[in-house]
Amino acid sequence: MLKRLLIIAAAVAPVVAVSALAQQSGIKRTPLQTVDFPPGYNVVSAIAEVAPGNCAGRHTHPGAESSYVIEGALVLKVAGKPDQTLKAGDSFQIPPNTPHDACTVPGQVFKVLGIYIIEKGKPLASPAP
């Protein structure tokens, strides 16, 4: 019984972390699924939307992020790299623990599908200074 509760808690934790991050910034995240794989990791997929004139909020992930721009355009700001403007149909990757932010292009909304590979028990995202 205890093992079953721990498994359920491990599966739910990333979804709770996604929701908590969404409340802290200008981003709306819709969790789609969490897969318990590979061993010791979770693969989390979510849709992220940012309304015109807003940014997601500078943050990090404890694992890799691979995202695809579904709608609109965004300015991706990754620490140590020049800002990059992306549009629907583009994809991008963020290395683990790299501070980054994504802001709307004036007058546009953006929506991305994000896939995150994170160690079990770690939050999906954390605010970055």
Task: Please report whether residue 62 resides in a domain.
Answer: yes
Task: Please report whether residue 129 resides in a domain.
Answer: no
Q: From residue 72, give the alpha-carbon distance in Å to each of 39, 87, 106, 118.
A: 35, 6, 10, 27
Task: Please report whether residue 44 resides in a domain.
Answer: yes
Which comes out higher in pLDDT, residue 34 or 25?
A: 34
What pLDDT is recorded for position 25? Answer: 66
Average pLDDT, the chain: 86
- What is the tally of structural domains in the chain? 1
Which comes out higher in pLDDT, residue 12 or 79?
A: 79
Does pLDDT of 3 surpass 80? no
Average pLDDT over residues 99-116: 96
Of residues 64, 72, 63, 66, the one with CA closest to residue 113:
66
Provide the pLDDT confidence category of residue 87 given band limits of 50, 70 and 90: very high
Residue 111 sits in a domain whose CATH number is: 2.60.120.10
With a pLDDT cut of 90, the percent of the chain lying above it is 78
List the beta bridge partners of residue 110.
50, 72
Task: Please report whether residue 128 resides in a domain.
Answer: no
- pTM, 2 dp: 0.80
Does pLDDT of 6 surpass 50? no
Average pLDDT over residues 87-99: 98
Of residues 120, 110, 112, 109, the one with CA closest to residue 9:
120
Domain that holds residue 17: 2-121
